[in-house]
Structure 1
Amino acid sequence: MTEMLPDLETDLSGLSVEDWQAGLDRIGEEHGYYERLGPGHAALFIDAGPRLMVSFETRDQIRRRPGARPRAFEMAARMGWSILALISDGPGWFRAPRVWGYVDRLVDEGFFEDFERVLFFGHHETGYAAAAYSVASPGARVLALRPVATLDPEIAGWDRRHLAARRLDFNSRYGYAPDMVEAAERVTVIYDPHHAADAVHAALFRRANVARLRAAHAGSRLETILDQTGALASLLELAMEDRLDRAAFARIWRARRDNALYLRGLLRLLEQANQPGRAARLCRHGLTTAEARHFASKLGDRSAARRQSPGPVSRAG
């Protein structure tokens, strides 16, 4: 397998969609392959080492990342992993016959058996895909952030967030994600227990090989917070090594305390819950972060509001 992958540092940002895809094609041609899977999906394989990370990402997610490169490139460069990036051009949820046909072909060819260890990864809709397609590699590991279990209206009719996706087929091949993880060695689901819809989906993953880890008050910003704190690469490494347990996650998740995005979200929750004392303490802590000016302004606003509020009216005669 390839020892060095200099092309993984290629900057693909700022390109048109066509040129960006051509850039991935060039990288794939040199180190593996890039294959279109019908009009809405693609697969990029990079042959780099005996361990494989299978990531599911949307085109827009990738193009917003530094260098417009798939997330798995970072792990290939950092850990020497091979990568298989399944890419969706839009909100297709990887629910297309060409996608499951491609995965079927990999199974028939014994592709996953060539690697000593395999990790499937995704976030929310791509977390659904990571869990659902993990059945193709028995004994694999799965790390899914805020995964959706299914959008079949018969099961998840209560979830009103992705109404257009309900027309997709979530009942054919690789359909119901909580069942598809049965053959995995370890499945780690990370979610916010206070985010109602995410918590219900997470609860549907109930097999004995599933560990559900709580990231309270992260909400839909979970992946971004983990990215900004530099925690996600560590989580992926631990998941691959079977060392991602509650204690390990708790240590890593502490980094959120200095993350402005997390603190902003928590401050909004405290304000909505009318907890001025806790909100003020959070703002004072926020003064130590990169967004000290924002939290100083919030503290100033709270002090001004207290000064302007009328005091108790004396009824003494």
Structure 2
Amino acid sequence: MDGTFPRNDLSGLAKPEWTRRVMEQADLEGASDRLGRSHFAAFIKSGPVLLVSFETVQGMRGLTDSAQPLGWHLSRKLGWSHLLLASDGDTWFRAEEVYAYFDQLIDEGFFEEFETVLFYGAGPCGYAAAAFSVAAPGSTVVAIQPQATLDPDVTEWDDRFTHMRRTDFTSRFGFAPDMIDAAAQVFVVYDPLESHDAMHAALFTRPNVTKLRMRNMGEALQSHLLFMKRLFPMLHAAAEGRLTPQYFATLFRARRNHLPYLRRLLTRLENSDRPGLTAMLCRNVTARYPAPRFARRLKALENPEE
């Protein structure tokens, strides 16, 4: 397949029809598989680089205007092959059907057909990207805010996902930091000021892991990277072996023009009682944007008696 099939706008479709269309498109260009009630796989064959993306149905339908898998946008632009693993909701991909699917791929030597294999996911999907990368030794992993495990014996301090505490994270593909030992490079992206994410990131400390920090960006890093148009350049660089902390720092400079980041930074400076730096930030932002909150704060700092 040459990747020239049109992949149509999928926005506005009901979930069953949306799923059918995604799998139908994969069947035209590769293959698709149902993996139980909550998961499916969709493979599109193109070039020698394979992007393996873990995404939720809800995320795919809401993150972009066209409601297409993120991997479709990148693979079409760069001529990559793409294997989508999709979940209906946040499942962390803890399902026997998913394990069996990766067993089949390993037995068939599927990953050996590609020169480069890149695993990607965010949050629960970041966990899965790391955990299932063990199926392709020598691969590269980019995981945004990944959980290491939700086994309460290890991460009882994480009270965000208590509904998952009865889910088995101790059997196959269970503890994600152990599953990345055979990967060539692993990039863990997180905000060190988000305590739960930082604690999970600490569990990923390994010789082949590079931690990329997005300070003051909060809990929705994938969305911020998409908005700043930095997610796809980051993945492209990772696949080509160009992603370094220095290169990521140049990408992350886009935050200087990203109002959600600037608002969080303003709040942090205000909470730290640093009026001088707060005024400098407000002057910088109001010189570039119509930003009423920053203008009001600057006025209050410059005219405290009014």
- State the TM-score, normalizing by the size of structure 2: 0.95
Residues in 2 aligned to 1:15 and 1:112: alpha-carbon distance in whole angstroms:
32
Q: State whether residues 144 and 189 of structure 2, in contact with CA within 8 Å, keep that contact through their aligned partners in structure 1.
A: yes
**Who is 1:298 aligned against?**
294
Structure-to-structure mapping, 1:125-204, within 5 angstroms: 125-204=124-203
CA-CA distance at 1:7 after TM superposition? 2.3
Query: Could you list the per-position Cα deviations for residues 118-149 of structure 1 after superposition, in whole angstroms to 9, with x for gaps in the alignment?
Result: 00001111110000000000110001111110
Name the SS of the counterpart of 1:61 in structure 2: helix
2:15 to 14, 17, 29: 17
Q: State whether residues 120 and 134 of structure 1, in contact with CA within 8 Å, keep that contact through their aligned partners in structure 2.
A: yes
**Counterpart amino acid of residue 171 in structure 2:** S
CA-CA distance at 1:223 after TM superposition? 1.4
- Tell me, yes or no, if structure 1 residue 250 matches structure 2 residue 249: yes
Identity of aligned residues (%): 44
Question: Which shows bigger deviation, 145-154 or 161-170?
Answer: 161-170
Residues in 1 aligned to 2:76 and 2:110: alpha-carbon distance in whole angstroms:
22
**Who is 1:34 aligned against?**
32
**Who is 1:315 aligned against?**
none
**Who is 2:239 aligned against?**
240
Residues in 2 aligned to 1:125 and 1:274: alpha-carbon distance in whole angstroms:
36
When the two chains are superposed, the root-mean-square deviation of aligned CA atoms in Å is 1.6
Residues in 2 aligned to 1:288 and 1:101: alpha-carbon distance in whole angstroms:
57
Residues in 2 aligned to 1:109 and 1:288: alpha-carbon distance in whole angstroms:
59
Name the SS of the counterpart of 2:153 in structure 1: helix
Task: Give the unaligned 5+ runs of structure 2.
Answer: none
Q: State whether residues 283 and 296 of structure 1, in contact with CA within 8 Å, keep that contact through their aligned partners in structure 2.
A: no
CA-CA distance at 1:93 after TM superposition? 1.0
* Greater C-alpha Rg: 1
**Who is 1:265 aligned against?**
264
Name the SS of the counterpart of 2:86 in structure 1: strand
CA-CA distance at 1:285 after TM superposition? 2.4
Residues in 2 aligned to 1:96 and 1:55: alpha-carbon distance in whole angstroms:
17
Name the SS of the counterpart of 2:186 in structure 1: strand
- State the TM-score, normalizing by the size of structure 1: 0.92
Q: State whether residues 280 and 299 of structure 1, in contact with CA within 8 Å, keep that contact through their aligned partners in structure 2.
A: no
> How many residue pairs end up in the alignment?
305
Residues in 2 aligned to 1:200 and 1:304: alpha-carbon distance in whole angstroms:
38
**Counterpart amino acid of residue 250 in structure 1:** A
Residues in 2 aligned to 1:75 and 1:246: alpha-carbon distance in whole angstroms:
22
Q: State whether residues 3 and 29 of structure 2, in contact with CA within 8 Å, keep that contact through their aligned partners in structure 1.
A: no
Residues in 2 aligned to 1:288 and 1:6: alpha-carbon distance in whole angstroms:
46
Query: Could you list the per-position Cα deviations for residues 244-272 of structure 1 after superposition, in whole angstroms to 9, with x for gaps in the alignment?
Result: 11111111111111111211222222222
CA-CA distance at 1:304 after TM superposition? 4.4
1:43 to 36, 41, 45: 41
**Counterpart amino acid of residue 40 in structure 1:** S
Residues in 2 aligned to 1:251 and 1:143: alpha-carbon distance in whole angstroms:
17
Question: Which shows bigger deviation, 32-41 or 178-187?
Answer: 32-41
Residues in 2 aligned to 1:305 and 1:217: alpha-carbon distance in whole angstroms:
23
**Who is 1:281 aligned against?**
280
Question: Which shows bigger deviation, 178-187 or 34-43?
Answer: 34-43
CA-CA distance at 1:305 after TM superposition? 7.1
Residues in 2 aligned to 1:240 and 1:31: alpha-carbon distance in whole angstroms:
22
**Who is 2:211 aligned against?**
212
Name the SS of the counterpart of 2:117 in structure 1: strand
